[in-house]
Amino acid sequence: MRKRSSIFSIFSVAVLTVCGAVAQDTQNRVFEISTRNTSLVYTAREDGRLVQRYYGPRIADPSRFEAMRSPDKADSRREMTWEAYPTYGLGFTNEPALSVIHHDGSLITEMALTDHRIQSDQNIVRHTFTLCDRVYDLTVELHAEAYQNEDVIALWTVIRNNEPGAVSLNNFYSSMLDLRAESYYLTHFNGTWAGEMNRTEERLGYGVKSVESRKGVRTTQTENPSFILSLGAPARENHGHCIGGALAWSGNYKLSFEVNEWDHLSVMTGMNPFMSQYKLSPGESLQTPASIYTYSTTGQGQVSRNLHDWARQYALHDGYSPRPVLLNSWEGAYFDFDENTITTMIDDAARLGVELFVLDDGWFGNKYPRNDATQGLGDWQVNRRKLPRGLEYLIDHATRRGVKFGLWIEPEMVNPRSELAECHPDWIVQSPGREKITMRNQLLLDLSNPAVQDFIWHTVDSLLTAHPRIAYIKWDANRHVEQVGSPYLAADMQTRFWIEYTRGLYGIYEKIRAKYPDLIFQACASGGGRVDYGSLRYHDEFWTSDNNDALRRIYMQYSTNLIYPANATASHISAIPGHQTGSITPLKFRFDVAMSGRLGLELQPEDIPAAEQEFAKQAIASYKEHIRDLVASGDLYAAKDKSKAVLFAYCTDFNNRGVWPTIKLHGLDPNKKYRIREINRLRPGKAFWGDGMVFQGDYLINMGVELRIARQYDSAVFLLEESDND
């Protein structure tokens, strides 16, 4: 961390506990929340309002912001719309971050700064601003964590009710950013089942654009709580000012982008207030999830690198560790297997060099055997017909072959045809008097209920205690919330359901992590329905999509990796024709695509044609030897010290005869020399004429490599290694 001795960044005032008074020593002060290359600047006005003045490249001396206020009355009101945490009350009525019905029915809230504290912990500088309503005893702690080396700032709040009666929160966003640019281009990620994370970029016009989920569960299937904002021009990889943002929350979320009459953009992110009025009893508080931001002056590429570095250190479990290559049983066997099917798959996997086998859906249920998706969900006992010698027999078998064992569960859900649903009908999310509507034949358990949380925790804990060699859990969730209603929550607490559900889920994750720190834990929700920084801090990886088609995966993984690390991006080779798209792609293409994330297989290994078995084995070995470390700890995809890099090149369509794409290799060191070598080769002839030769970094960066890949599904993988010899 760079040390600076600025009075503007090291500043703390005495606690002022009385609400309604403006702390004298906070008036006209400048507060700089800085990272190595960025500054977020707030000032406190004379009237105590904390106003955001700036977010952008680091400003060496932010003292001038102190004078940045206008005596003009209209201007002064305008400033209220860019308060650090705007409340509904005075000023122009843009979307407020906080709107409250006070205990006596008053609708107005006006916050003044009463305290600021700062605390440093090596790489993280933590600021806490205490804001207090001028009339009522309602406080907001605005927290800002500045991650110095990663240029990431996390913002969130704690809203506390000290009024004599209950207050209702209508809006309770985590943060507000006020931006000023000629134009704003928003990249966000829309999707559907088997088509998650489509990158959409649009110019923001006047008014509000919102990206949100009201699904409660599986919230990232159709949109993702993350974005890139490019200022002044559409986003480019290596040029321009871009802000990356993400909300660390797995429940309903809302990202609001409002271009107002002064051409400012106000960005607000947080839990979705939709049907979520939150009543705070006296003394009670609500903590909002972290809004993550990073600022880059060199395009969206740096946004991704900052977020990946931050995540791998702070928001992804075991972020920098290489992940094992696995075989998942789903597309190879679906529900249709017995002991022999599984042991054969394990044997074949071991032969190919696979390190972990994951038994997916279908292994449980006896009264209602889980032989398809219609029944058995919730009954987490091994199916005795399919697996008469139980899981231990399979685990022993795998262990003997040097393969670890993993298991699928979907503990938040239940089939109506299950012993669990029969025993605990009151554990199911439902609305009184209404027919329960199933989705994929299943209903949702009420995770706001502590008894349900205990059941789920004990389900997982019993499995892992009975089978301590289970190394990996895939946690799936295949429906969203409909007909919301909790038999557990009181009538006046029903609107809390959305938040309580997610808290219940996180509580279980916490317990799992505390007791099983080494477990490899995958977040899945019908594919990429739970890809967010709220859940990732407990997980090692996520299931990107049920769509394993390599062509589609190129785009999905590219968009996903704009925000989330490649190391966490599970990417599997499946059979052809692809089960979702029906397309037929070469095995090499499938491997070359899957290798850019956490490599896995999802097929019957024996379905790989005999002539290609050796290639598959070699490809897995190459991934382990050359690529996996770069995926785990590299900068998409050069090693941090730039001594090694990998280039993945894919031809997505016929490229016309004789048109050879030239690819410039950003990310290398111009002063280093690199030997470039194609790996995963299948066909004769060189994809690059310089294959095997040594090049100066500046040549590869500026001239690039001309690749002879032109037909659809041609692909090539090159390794670049620092070399002293020509």
CA-closest candidate to residue 508, choices 449, 467, 466 = 449
Q: Check: CB of residue 310 under 8 Å from CB of residue 319.
A: no
Instruction: Name the segment binding ligand DGJ (CB under 6 A); options: 159-167, 175-183, 423-431, 524-532.
Output: 524-532
CB 69 within 8 A of CB 45: yes
- Give every CB contact of residue 594 below 8 A, 6+ residues apart in sequence: 550, 553, 571, 572, 573, 600
Rounded least distance, CB 361 to ligand DGJ, Å = 4
CB of 328 to ligand DGJ, least distance (A): 7
By C-beta, is 408 or 591 nearer to ligand DGJ? 408
Judged by CB, which is closer to ligand DGJ: 243, or 599?
599
Q: Does 257 bind ligand DGJ (CB under 6 A)?
A: no
Q: Which of 145, 379, 546, 669 binds ligand DGJ (CB under 6 A)?
A: 546
Burial of 413 (0-12, 13-18, 19+ CB in 10 A): buried
Q: Which of 543, 591, 650, 718 binds ligand DGJ (CB under 6 A)?
A: 543
- Give the nearer residue to ligand DGJ in terms of CB position, either 146 or 524: 524
Contacting residue, 157, 224, 526, 580, with ligand DGJ by CB under 6 A: 526
According to DSSP, the residues that pair with 296 across neighbouring strands are: 242
Shortest Å, Cβ 543 to ligand DGJ:
5
Binding region for ligand DGJ (CB under 6 A) out of 134-142, 146-154, 519-527, 678-686: 519-527
Distance CA 264, CA 348 (A): 59
Find residue 414's DSSP bridge partners.
443
Q: Is 80 in the site for ligand DGJ (CB under 6 A)?
A: no
Determine the Cα–Cα distance for residues 524 and 310; give it in Å rounded to an integer: 22
Q: What is the rounded CA–CA span in Å between residue 634 and residue 361?
A: 33
Task: Provide, for the chain, the percentages of residues in helix, strand and coil under a 3-state DSSP scheme, each rounded to the nearest 5.
Answer: 25, 30, 45
- List the one residue from 95, 150, 360, 549 that touches ligand DGJ (CB under 6 A): 360
Of 223, 258, 309, 476, the one binding ligand DGJ (CB under 6 A) is 476
Backbone phi and psi for residue 516, each to the nearest 5 degrees, phi listed first: -125, 65
637 interacts with ligand DGJ by CB under 6 A: no
Residues 316-345 that bind ligand DGJ (CB under 6 A): 330
Phi/psi of residue 590, nearest 5 degrees: -65, -40
Q: Give Cβ neighbours of residue 152 (< 8 Å, ≥ 6 apart).
A: 35, 146, 292, 293, 294, 306, 307, 310
Nearest distance from C-beta of residue 607 to ligand DGJ, angstroms: 18
What's the DSSP call for residue 29? Answer: -
Looking at the Cβ atoms of 546 and 714, the one nearer to ligand DGJ is 546
Eight-class DSSP state of 624: I
Q: Which residues contact 685 (CB under 8 A, 6 or more apart)?
A: 708
From the CB of residue 124, how many other CB atoms can be counted at a distance below 10 Å? 18
Give the nearest distance from C-beta 260 to ligand DGJ in angstroms.
41
Neighbours of 145 (CB within 10 A): 20
Phi, psi of 393 (to 5 degrees): -60, -45
Helix (H) or strand (E) holding 505: helix 497-515
Q: Shortest Cβ distance from residue 196 to ligand DGJ (Å)?
A: 10
Instruction: For residue 325, give the nearest of 348, 353, 347, 351 by alpha carbon.
Output: 353
- The binding track of 134-173 with respect to ligand DGJ, each residue x by CB under 6 A or -, is ----------------------------------------
Based on CB atoms, which residue is closest to ligand DGJ, 361 or 412? 361
Q: Which helix (H) or strand (E) holds 562?
A: helix 550-563
Q: According to CB under 6 A, which one of 167, 229, 307, 524 is a site residue for ligand DGJ?
A: 524
Choose which of 478, 580, 622, 633 interacts with ligand DGJ (CB under 6 A). Answer: 478
The CB-of-458 to ligand DGJ minimum distance in angstroms stands at 22
Q: How many residues bind ligand DGJ (CB under 6 A)?
A: 11
* Binding region for ligand DGJ (CB under 6 A) out of 143-151, 218-226, 378-386, 522-530: 522-530
Question: Cβ atoms within 10 A of the Cβ of 80, count?
Answer: 19
Q: Which stretch binds ligand DGJ (CB under 6 A): 465-473, 520-528, 578-586, 695-703?
A: 520-528
Cα torsion 528, 598, 467, 401: sign:
positive
Stretch of 115-123, 141-149, 523-531, 610-618 contacting ligand DGJ, by CB under 6 A: 523-531
In degrees and rounded to multiples of 5, residue 454 shows phi and psi of -65, -45
Q: Which residue is nearest to ligand DGJ (CB)?
A: 361
Q: Which residues contact 443 (CB under 8 A, 6 or more apart)?
A: 413, 414, 415, 416, 421, 428, 429, 430, 436, 479
Shortest reach from residue 473's CB to ligand DGJ, in Å = 12
Q: For residue 241, give the nearest of 294, 203, 175 by alpha carbon.
A: 294
Task: Select from 62-70, 521-529, 571-579, 682-690 the region that touches ligand DGJ (CB under 6 A).
Answer: 521-529
Q: Is 363 in the site for ligand DGJ (CB under 6 A)?
A: no
Cβ proximity to ligand DGJ: between 70 and 381 the closer is 381
Query: Considering the complex, what minimum distance in angstroms separates the CB of residue 617 from ligand DGJ?
Result: 25
- Min. distance of Cβ 368 from ligand DGJ in angstroms? 15
Site map (CB under 6 A) of ligand DGJ, residues 402-431, x = contact: ------x-----------------------
CB of 528 to ligand DGJ, least distance (A): 8
Nearer to ligand DGJ, 53 or 215 (CB): 215
Residue ranges in contact with ligand DGJ by CB under 6 A: 330, 360-361, 408, 476, 478, 524, 526-527, 543, 546
